[in-house]
Amino acid sequence: MSPSVAFCGNKLCYNNGASDYKMMNPKKQNRREFLRSGAAGLAGVALISGARGELFGFADAGPFAEIVEATIADLQAKMRAGKLTSRRLVEMYLERIREVDVKTHAVIETNPDALAIADQMDRERKKGKPRSMMHGIPILIKDNIDTADKMMTTAGSLALVGAPTPKHDAFVVGQLRKAGAVIIGKTNLSEWANFRGERSISGWSGRGGQTNNPYFLDQNPCGSSSGSGVAVSANLAAAAVGTETNGSIICPALTNGVVGIKPTLGLVSRSGIIPIAHTQDTAGPMARTVADAAILLGAMAGRDKNDAITADAAKNAAKDYTKFLDPDGLRGARLGLVLQFLPQRDREQALAYYKPFIDKFREAGATLIDVTFTQNYGKTAQDRTDVLLYEFKADLNKYLASRGAKYKTLEDLIKFNEENRDRELTKFGQELFVQAEAKGGLTDKAYLDALGRIKKATREDGIDAVMAKDNLDALIGPTSGAAWSIAAVAGYPFITVPLGLRDNSATGMAFFGKPFTEPQLIKYAYAFEQRTKGRVEPQFLPTYPKKP
C-alpha cells in the first residue's frame, strides 16, 4: 500500500519492489514559504505578506471556519459544554465534503447512516455515558476496509462495485464504533492500494477518479491512502484511517501535510481489510496533530481472535496513548539522525532547510548521533517485490472467496480488467496482477528464502543493528521513501510529523524504531511538534505559481 524509493521526478515511475507504484514530485517543501512573488494573477487568490516577507495565498477554504483545524480535544470540549452536538458536527463535515471535495475528490462515498449514528452518540452523552475521546467524532476510513453497512468496500475497483456487503465490519471498524466514532464516509485510494500496474498514478481509482493535493490541486497527493491524507488535510473530517504495506500511510501524510502513524505489525488487526501482503499490511491513523493520531490509534488497537498476530498487541499495546504526550519528552533521549536518504541532486540545500528543525531536537535536550544504514537493504529490491507478489495472490484470493463477489479470484479480476479496458486500463496496466497470478504458493522455497532475506536486511542488519550500535532510543530524520520502506518491510513503527512547505511539496520529520515502541515515538513526535508547529492549512490553489 505504498512506495519504497523516494523521488522519481514529476513523471510516472515505479519504485523497485514496493507496493505503491506512484507519481512523485521531486521537490521537497519549505516551511512558511507558501507562495512567493510569482503568485500574483492566480484567479480567486488573495496575497498578503508574511512575517518574513514571503507571499501567502488564501483561496476559499470552505464553510464552517469553527471546525477548520479543530482538534478532537477541541470538539469534545464543545460537546461537553453543550455548545455542539455530534449531529451538528457531522452535518458540518458533510457540508464541507459537499462544497470542498469538488476540488479534492478525496471522499468516494458518504455514510447514509451517519446522522442516525451521531444522534445515538448524542443520546448517550446526555445520559452521561460518553464511550471515549472518540465519542461522537466524525472520521473517514479508506475504501479497502470492510464495513457491514450501506456503504461499499471496493478498493477503488469497478470489479467490486455492487458486490455483496461484507458480512462483518473489519475488526478495526468494530473498535472504532465501540469507541463511539461516527464513520461519515470512505476515502478514495490508489486502486488496489497501488498494487496493480508497474506504472500507476497515486490517488487514482476506476471508481473514484483522481484525488487532488489540497495545497496545489495539480500536484501528486501520493498514495495509496491518498483520500485519507487529503481529507484530513482539507478538514473534511476530524481524522481518518489509512492502510499501508509500504509507505501508503506515511507518504500521503507527508505529502498532504498531516501526521501519519504506521503501527507495528500486529498492533492493529488486519482482518476485514482488502490485503496486499500479510507480512507488511496494517491500518493506521492519519490526523492533523500527534495528539489526535494518538487518540485514534488507541481506539484502533486491540486483540482480534481472527488475526493471530494481534496476540502480541494484547501484551504490548497501551490502553491510552495520550498519556505519552509530553511537551518535554525529548529531554534525555538518544536519537539516531538518519540523513543518508536525502536526494543527492540538492543535498546541500536540503541539509540547510532541515538544519533548523534538527536543531530543535538538541534545544529540547536530546542527544543526536549520526547513523548510517548498510547497503544490504538496497540489494533486496527483487526479493521485496517477489514477497508482495506471492502474498498478494494468496491473501487476495482468500479475501475474495469470503466476500462472495462475482469475481472470486485474482484471475477473475485480470479478466474483468481486460474486458473493461476502457474504464480500468486507460491510464496504466495490470502487470503486477499478472506477475502475482504466475506465482506459486506460500510454501515455495523461493518465497520463503526471499522473505527471510528481506526481514534480515531490515531487522537484524537494519533497524536493530543501527540502534544497538549506539544504544539508541529511536531514529529520526527527514521523512523519506527509503526510511519508511525499511520500517514497513521490517514491520516496525513509523511516524511522520509535518514541517511545512518547501516550494511545491510538503515536508515532514520521521520518528521510527523497534517494534511496539509507539509510546516513545509518540512522546518524541509530540514534543517536536510542540516546538515546531509546522502544519500548514491548505488553500486549494490550482497550481504552484512559477517564479518570475
| Residues 399-425: tens digit of each pLDDT | 999 999 999 999 999 999 999 999 999
Residue 120 lies in a domain: yes
Lowest mean pLDDT among 12-16, 124-128, 149-153: 12-16
Q: Is 371 helix (H, G, I), strand (E, B) or coil?
A: strand
> Within a domain: residue 200?
yes
The answer to whether residue 4 is domain-embedded is no
Tell me the mean pLDDT in the region 332-337. Answer: 98
In a domain, 105, yes or no: yes
Is residue 299 domain-resident?
Answer: yes
Active site residue 480: no
Q: Report residue 61's pLDDT band, with 50, 70 and 90 as the boundaries.
A: confident
Residue 546 pLDDT more than 80? no
Q: Give the per-residue pLDDT at 20.
A: 37
The full DSSP string for 267-293 is: TB--TTB--S-TTT-EEEEEESSHHHH
The H or E element that residue 364 is part of is none
Which pLDDT score is estimated for 290?
A: 99
Domain count along the chain: 1
In a domain, 538, yes or no: no
Residue 4 has pLDDT above 60, yes or no: no
Between 266 and 13, residue with greater pLDDT: 266
Over residues 371-382, the pLDDT tens digits come to: 999 989 999 999
Q: State yes or no: pLDDT of 14 exceeds 90.
A: no
Identify the CA nearest to 537 among candidates 154, 258, 290, 140: 258
- Is the pLDDT at 479 greater than 90, yes or no? yes
Query: For residue 34, what pLDDT is reported?
Result: 32
In a domain, 122, yes or no: yes
224 is catalytic: yes
The tens digit of pLDDT for each residue in 270-298 reads 999 999 999 999 999 999 999 999 999 99
| Rounded distance between C-alpha atoms, residue 479 and residue 238, angstroms | 23
Q: Which residues contact 355 (CB under 8 A, 6 or more apart)?
A: none
Mean pLDDT of 443-454: 98
pLDDT for res 59: 54
Where in 94-162 does DSSP place strands (E)? 107-110, 138-142
Lowest mean pLDDT among 13-22, 120-129, 321-330, 461-470: 13-22
Q: How confident is the model at residue 314 (pLDDT cuts 50, 70, 90)?
A: confident
Active-site residue (options: 19, 190, 226, 248): 248
The Cα 446–Cα 76 span in angstroms is 52
Average pLDDT of the residues in 63-84: 97
Least confident of 60-69, 188-197, 335-344, 496-505: 60-69
Q: What is the pLDDT of residue 201?
A: 95
Give the model's pLDDT for residue 18.
33
**Given the residues 224, 228, 269, 480, the one annotated as active site:** 224
- The pLDDT confidence band at residue 257, using thresholds 50, 70 and 90, is very high
- Region 434-438: mean pLDDT is 98
What average pLDDT does the chain have?
Answer: 90
For residue 311, give Cα distances in angstroms to 174, 289, 308, 493.
Answer: 17, 29, 6, 17
Catalytic-role residue among 22, 103, 142, 186: 142
Average pLDDT over residues 55-60: 48
Percent of the chain as helix, strand, coil, to the nearest 5: 40, 15, 45
> Which H/E stretch holds residue 199?
none
Q: What is the pLDDT of residue 232?
A: 98
Burial of 432 (0-12, 13-18, 19+ CB in 10 A): buried
Residues 88-113 have a mean pLDDT of 98
| Strand stretches in 363-512, DSSP E | 367-371, 474-478, 494-502, 505-512
- In a domain, residue 525? The reply is yes
Q: Residue 106's domain spans which residues?
A: 37-532
The x, y and z cell numbers of residue 140, run together, are 473517514
The percent of residues in the chain predicted with pLDDT above 90, rounded, is 86
Q: What distance lies between CA 70 and its chain's CA centroid?
A: 20
We report the CATH number of the domain holding residue 460 as 3.90.1300.10
CA atoms within 13 A on the CB side of 287: 26
Q: In angstroms, rounded to a whole number, what is the distance separating the alpha carbons of residues 505 and 26? A: 8
Question: For 500, how many CA atoms within 13 A lie in the half-sphere containing its CB?
Answer: 16
Residue 445 a catalytic site member = no
pLDDT at 313: 79
Per-residue pLDDT averaged across 75-82, rounded?
Answer: 98
Predicted pLDDT at 548: 65
